[in-house]
Amino acid sequence: MENASPLHEVLYVSTLSPDSPVKVVSQIAAKARLANEASGTTGLLVFDGMRFCQQIEGPRKAVLALTERILLDPRHVNVEILHHGPLRERRFRRFSPGYVVTDDVDVLGRMQEAGPEQAMAQFLALLPSIDLDS
Ligand SMILES: Cc1cc2nc3c(=O)[nH]c(=O)nc-3n(C[C@H](O)[C@H](O)[C@H](O)COP(=O)(O)O)c2cc1C
């Protein structure tokens, strides 16, 4: 499954565009599932009703190409990369979309304010409160 390109990961938060209905989220997730499998990209895309937070991992070239497309996607705004860099081994076995289910309404908003060191740790700490779609 791995090719010669070293593993890389990206973590960002963004906000659903005011012009986008919430139903685009399931459309994005359905397409991403197929495309990510084809490119060997795994990770987690979470949505809380307003914000997205996504970790993308896989061969560096595939991750960077996908990140560029995502940055240009008009369905979300205020895309902010919280962390990016090389990765020794994958954190996830596949790509999953999920929904953040927590009483803490602005957990993704606060991640945006976290420093790059803390952002990944905060994201991983979210895992128990994510309702995974698959
Ligand atoms: C929040 C968000 C997350 C996305 N995640 C992925 C993803 O994991 N994989 C993917 O292929 N496309 C994802 N997309 C869609 C891409 O932005 C883009 O539409 C898709 O890669 C197709 O690009 P193309 O139309 O230039 O071929 C995401 C879009 C948004 C808004």
Question: Mind listing the domains of the chain with CATH numbers?
Answer: 7-132 (3.30.70.100)
Q: Which comes out higher in pLDDT, residue 89 or 102?
A: 89
Structure tokens at 51: 């914000």
Distance separating alpha carbons of residues 5 and 16, to the nearest angstrom:
31
Residue the block writes with tokens 């740790």: 121
Residue 84 beta carbon below 6 angstroms from any ligand 1 atom: no
Backbone phi, then psi, for 13, in 5-degree steps?
-120, 155
Give the mean pLDDT of 77-84.
Answer: 96
**What pLDDT is stored for residue 46 in this prediction?**
93
The tens digit of pLDDT for each residue in 8-55 reads 999 999 999 999 999 999 999 999 999 999 999 999 999 999 999 999
Sheet holding 7-16, edge to edge: 76-86, 7-16, 51-59, 42-47, 95-100, 130-132
pLDDT score at 1: 52
Ligand 1 centre distance from Cα of residue 69 (Å): 6
Percent of the chain whose predicted confidence (pLDDT) is above 90? 71
User: Would you state the pLDDT for residue 33?
Assistant: 95
Q: What is the pLDDT of residue 92?
A: 94
End-to-end CA distance of the chain: 21
Q: Whose CA is nearest to atom 21 of ligand 1?
A: 69
Q: Residue 134 above 70 pLDDT?
A: no
